[in-house]
């Protein structure tokens, strides 16, 4: 798979060989992420050393290992977080970025887990430190790939009163995932509603500039705003007085740009603290569309059009 002129075309790429710390995965499925759309549009290139073609997460079978230390992994069905290159038949990945397929999850659906789980955990994991404290969490874009996971995480693992913004037609599906309040972002004012209710202790934001000011309004005292997406702009004005008065904390991260050690640590904690809920089925991957890998461009079109619920996954066979 190569990327040319903003479109995806099938092409022969050499079968990769695992480095000393790596394993080789025969890919069963690759998760589609909004970052992939940015990448093929030329705005979000792969980091140095990573394959140039998209794909931040895959599931599949380990068919080779770079070191005897990892020999026990041979034949294991896994999912993995990649810096790129998942839209392929084979992908190499650091052994520390691989997790087993959870017990009640199909191999294909597991491809939609690593990016959402690691992103949500690395931004909202602190809520698990003191889950007995009653909190209100606001997840923007609850119907998205990250959002459907974040809503379940906030409600089922962090035991928070969970609000989310989404199109109104997704209310029932989001309530089924655990949302206590679904705010239709097209007709309701989430900031005013949250403020009236006493504010959100934590906000996970995928919108960026357009939501910056309303997010500050929606925050409760001592609230934390985690910005992970910039779908509507990256330049915002900040009212510092409001920030001080709320004793607010604002963070921003991108998972892919984190150093390898941090990504390994996040995956290890995700395995320890989130995977048990996937094994029991308390949290489920929400994969609503599966397309063959050769239809990656159609998958990108679907995601780009909006109005999709959950994750889109590309299957290799
Ligand atoms: N920083 C990181 O480490 C990191 C990691 C993963 C993802 N991300 C970012 O997180 C975002 C979500 O990624 P994804 O893969 O989950 O994409 P996705 O599945 O396309 O989800 C995007 C969601 O945003 C919703 N949305 C659009 N406009 C909205 C608005 N005005 N108010 C509320 N929701 C709105 C969409 O709803 P509609 O369908 O109704 O438009 C959709 O549910 C992207 O911006 C991505 O780049 C960041």
CA 229 to chain CA mean position, Å: 10
Choose the final residue of a domain: 252, 282, 297: 252
| Dihedrals phi, psi of 253, to nearest 5 degrees | -150, 155
The predicted model gives 39-54 an average pLDDT of 90
Query: 23 and 133: one domain?
Result: no
Cβ < 6 A, ligand 1 pocket:
33-35, 115, 119, 140-141, 143-147, 165, 167, 185, 206-207, 228-229, 231, 253-255, 303, 306-308
Residue identifier of the C-alpha nearest atom 5 of ligand 1: 119
Q: Give pLDDT, residue 1.
A: 43
Q: Is the domain of 273 the same as that of 260?
A: yes
Burial 114-126 (b: 16+ CB within 10 A, else e): bbbbbbbbbbbbe
Asked if residue 212 and residue 159 are part of one domain, the reply reads yes
What spacing in Å lies between the alpha carbon of 207 and ligand 1's midpoint?
Answer: 7
* Other CB atoms within 10 Å distance of the CB of residue 257: 10
- Is residue 94 located within the same domain as residue 150? no
Q: How many domains does the chain have?
A: 2
> Cβ(21)–Cβ(66) under 8 Å?
yes
For the CA atoms of the chain, what is the radius of gyration? 19
Q: Rounding to the nearest 10 degrees, give the CA dihedral for residues 226, 227, 229, 231.
A: 130
The percentage of the chain sitting over the pLDDT mark of 70, rounded to a whole number, equals 96
* Predicted pLDDT of residue 9: 53
Residues 301 and 179 in one domain: no
What are the DSSP calls for 107-122, one per residue?
HHHHTTSHHHHHHHHH
Calculate mean pLDDT across residues 200-208. 98
252 CA closest ligand 1 atom index:
1
**Of 219, 252, 285, which residue is a domain's last?**
252
Give the CATH number for residue 241.
Answer: 3.40.50.720
- CATH code where residue 78 lies: 3.90.180.10
Minimal-distance CA residue to ligand 1 atom 40: 307
Give, in order, the Cα–Cα distances in Å from 312 to each of 54, 197, 212.
14, 34, 28
pLDDT in tens, 87-133: 999 999 999 999 999 998 999 999 999 999 999 999 999 999 987 78
Domain of residue 244, residue span: 118-252
């Amino acid at each position: 798979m190569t990327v040319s002129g903003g479109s995806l075309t099938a092409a022969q790429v050499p079968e990769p060989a695992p480095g000393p710390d790596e394993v080789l995965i025969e890919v069963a499925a690759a998760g589609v992420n909004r970052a992939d759309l940015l990448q093929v549009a030329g705005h979000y290139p792969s980091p140095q050393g990573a394959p140039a073609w998209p794909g931040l997460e895959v599931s599949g079978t380990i068919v080779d290992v770079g070191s005897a230390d990892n020999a026990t992994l041979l034949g294991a069905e896994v999912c993995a977080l990649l810096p790129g290159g998942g839209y392929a038949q084979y992908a190499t990945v650091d052994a520390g970025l691989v997790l087993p397929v959870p017990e009640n999850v199909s191999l294909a659906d597991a491809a939609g887990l690593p990016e959402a789980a690691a992103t949500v955990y690395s931004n909202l994991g602190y809520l698990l430190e003191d889950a007995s404290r009653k909190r209100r969490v606001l997840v923007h874009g609850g119907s998205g790939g990250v959002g459907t996971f974040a809503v379940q995480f906030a409600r089922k693992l962090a035991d928070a009163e969970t609000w989310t913004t989404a199109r109104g037609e997704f209310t029932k599906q989001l309530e089924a995932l655990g949302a206590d309040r679904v705010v239709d972002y097209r007709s309701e004012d989430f900031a005013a509603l949250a403020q009236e209710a006493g504010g959100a202790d934590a906000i996970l934001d995928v919108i960026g500039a357009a939501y910056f000011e309303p997010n500050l309004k929606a925050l409760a005292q001592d609230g934390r705003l985690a910005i992970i997406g910039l779908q509507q702009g990256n330049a915002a004005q900040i009212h510092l007085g409001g920030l001080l008065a709320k004793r607010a904390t604002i963070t921003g991260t991108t998972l892919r740009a984190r150093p390898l050690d941090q990504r390994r640590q996040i995956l290890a904690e995700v395995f320890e603290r989130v995977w048990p809920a996937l094994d029991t089925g308390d949290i489920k991957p929400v994969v609503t569309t599966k397309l063959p890998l050769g239809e990656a461009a159609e998958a990108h079109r679907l995601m780009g059009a909006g109005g999709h619920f959950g994750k889109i996954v590309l299957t290799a066979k």
